[in-house]
Amino acid sequence: MASAQPLFLRACRGEPTERRPLWLMRQAGRYLPEYREVRAQISFLDLCKHPELACEVTLQPIRRFGFDAAILFSDILVPVEAMGCPVVFPDPGGPMLPQPVRVPADIERLRVPDPAAEMPFVLEALRRVRAALAPATALIGFAGAPVTLASYMVEGGSSKNFTLLKGLLHGAPAAARLLLGKLADTVALYLAAQVEAGAQAVQLFDTWAGMLAPDDYSEFALPYTAQIVSALRARSVPVIVYVNGGGTLLERVARTGCDVVGLDWRIDIAEARARLGPERPVQGNLDPCVLLSTPEVVARKARTIGAAAGARGHIFNLGHGVLPETPLASVEALVEAVRDLP
Q: Residues in the site for its own copies, rule: CB under 8 A?
A: 161-163, 166-167, 170-171, 210-216, 245, 247-248, 265-268, 271, 287-290, 292-294, 297, 301, 304, 319, 323, 325
Cβ neighbours for 213, distance < 8 A, ≥ 6 positions apart: none
> Can 259 be counted among the known catalytic residues?
no
CB atoms within 10 A of CB 86: 11
Candidates 30, 64, 102, 312; catalytic one: 30
Candidates 10, 20, 26, 130; catalytic one: 26
Q: Could you tell me the smallest distance in angstroms from the CB atom of residue 311 to its own copies?
A: 20
Residue placing its CB nearer to its own copies in the complex, 323 or 341: 323
CA distance 246 to 122: 28
Residue placing its CB nearer to its own copies in the complex, 8 or 162: 162
Candidates 35, 152, 190, 224; catalytic one: 152
> Can 152 be counted among the known catalytic residues?
yes
Q: Could you tell me the smallest distance in angstroms from the CB atom of residue 251 to its own copies?
A: 9
Candidates 20, 31, 35, 39; catalytic one: 39
Q: Could you tell me the smallest distance in angstroms from the CB atom of residue 236 to its own copies?
A: 33
> Can 109 be counted among the known catalytic residues?
no
> Can 300 be counted among the known catalytic residues?
no
> Can 30 be counted among the known catalytic residues?
yes
Of 185, 167, 187, the closest CA to residue 176 belongs to 167
Residue placing its CB nearer to its own copies in the complex, 123 or 334: 334
Cα R_g (the chain), whole angstroms: 19
Q: Could you tell me the smallest distance in angstroms from the CB atom of residue 187 to its own copies?
A: 24
CB 150 within 8 A of CB 176: yes
Among the residues of the chain, which ranges form H helices?
7-12, 33-39, 44-48, 51-65, 78-82, 104-109, 115-118, 120-132, 146-155, 163-171, 173-196, 214-220, 222-232, 250-254, 269-276, 295-309, 328-339
| Catalytic residue IDs | 26, 30, 39, 75, 152
